[in-house]
Amino acid sequence: HFFNVEHKDPVTQARAGRIRTAHGEIETPVFMPVGTAGTVKAVTQEMLERLDARIILGNTYHLFLRPGHETVFELGGLRKFISWNRAILTDSGGFQVFSLGELRKIREEGVEFRSHLDGSKRFLSPEVSMRVQSALGADIVMCFDECTPYPATREQARDSLELTTRWSRRSRSEFDLLKDTPQSTAVSPALFGINQGSVYEDLRSRSLEQLVEIGFEGYAIGGLSVGEEKRRMYDITEFIAPQMPADKPRYLMGVGTPEDLIECVARGVDMFDCVMPTRNARNGQVFTSRGKMNVRNAKFVRDERPLDEECECAVCRRYSRAYVRHLYNCGEMLASTLCSYHNLAFYLDTMRRVRQAIVLGEFAQFRACYLDRMRAG
């Protein structure tokens, strides 16, 4: 079957499991690099393989606009198009309902977007999102949801969650209809529901109950890391994750920092994705076992050490901070590539170590040591 838990941490809610897709197995907890427009920005697919990434994200909205899902379909699906033979998860466009702010109008039927590229009107709904994702051929498909903005009043959060539930029901129907049709390039895809409810515990529970009733292959926590205090993000995760079906993967969308990952694994989350390692890399910030570091800083001009002295990634084995800083200074694109590669290596390695610690029953200890060191700097 699709997922099973292999180890449970005796102290925390952490678990180690395995997701099986037609395009490879994924050991959890897992961090999934974000590849919005059919590329994890600045790194090649070969690099992702070398990093042993087993699954990456793609985005419905962005690929829908460009090059268009029909085009991707004709080219044999997203995996073939981008030459990636491992697993892919596509986000539904629900986050763009949130992030594109003024460029969209939400109705019961769906969302009308003004394309950020040319201003043209585009329409996305649960059905359209499923059709697009089906054509793209993802292994894991996300329900079309409304990522509730923060802050939201109780009433706004409730209305938003109810809309997401109705859209989830429609997503489920359309997904089931499309599965194994000639319009799909997917093989045994799984559909995930997305929990909403903002920072209101009872609304989170209510959302989850409704989703479980519909039934999904996995459950995601959405609507977090959208501006709320970190404490609340942890609290909501701590509250809702353990309530999610134990035999299904639990995915915290859009999170987070290395520390967030560990803290939320401890609260029962199995899957994560975040633009942070790649975006911040392009902006000169690298993550290390001693905390984050801005390699653009003048103090690295003559620093011959690797980005992270304890990292064994291909970048850290070969290049110095001085060189990477120089590349940033010159506006050279290799800087982005090198830092993105390292940051992803750091994230992926962190998750492998987290998993190993859970398997060995040492997660609580690992968590404490790891975070202490990172904070000590």
Partner RNA sequence: GCAGGGGUGGUCGAGUGGUUAAUGGCACCGGGCUGUAAACCCGGCGGACGACAGUCCUACGUAGGUUCAAAUCCUACCCCCUGCA
Residues forming the active site:
91, 273
Count of helices and strands (H, E) across the chain: 15, 16
User: What is the DSSP secondary structure assignment for residue 201, as one 8-state letter?
Assistant: H
* Token digits of residue 315: 């970048």
Q: Does 78 bind RNA (CB under 7 A)?
A: no
Q: Does 253 bind RNA (CB under 7 A)?
A: yes
Q: Please check whether residue 315 is in contact with residue 288, taking contact to mean a CB–CB distance below 8 angstroms.
A: no
Looking at the Cβ atoms of 274 and 345, the one nearer to RNA is: 274
User: What is the DSSP secondary structure assignment for residue 191, as one 8-state letter?
Assistant: E
Looking at the Cβ atoms of 271 and 316, the one nearer to RNA is: 271
Mask of contacts with RNA, 24-43, x by CB under 7 A? ----------x-x---xx--
Smallest distance, Å, CB 91 to RNA?
Answer: 4
Smallest distance, Å, CB 85 to RNA?
Answer: 21
* Token digits of residue 373: 């060191």
Q: Does 147 bind RNA (CB under 7 A)?
A: yes
Q: Please check whether residue 181 is in contact with residue 137, taking contact to mean a CB–CB distance below 8 angstroms.
A: no
Looking at the Cβ atoms of 8 and 41, the one nearer to RNA is: 41
Q: Does 336 bind RNA (CB under 7 A)?
A: yes
Q: Which of 30, 57, 63, 269 binds RNA (CB under 7 A)?
A: 57
The strand pair at 3-8 and 15-21 is best described as: antiparallel
Q: Please check whether residue 112 is in contact with residue 129, taking contact to mean a CB–CB distance below 8 angstroms.
A: no
280-319 positions binding RNA, by CB under 7 A? 280, 282-285, 292, 294, 296-299, 301
Locus of tokens 């997922």: 3
115-144 positions binding RNA, by CB under 7 A? 116, 142
Q: How far apart are CA 263 and CA 31, in angstroms?
A: 14
Q: How far apart are CA 33 and CA 337, in angstroms?
A: 14
**Residues shown for the chain:** 377
- Contact residues: RNA, CB under 7 A: 34, 36, 40-41, 57, 59, 62, 91-92, 94-96, 98-103, 116, 142, 145, 147, 194, 220, 222-223, 225-226, 230, 253-257, 260, 273-276, 278-280, 282-285, 292, 294, 296-299, 301, 329, 331, 333, 336
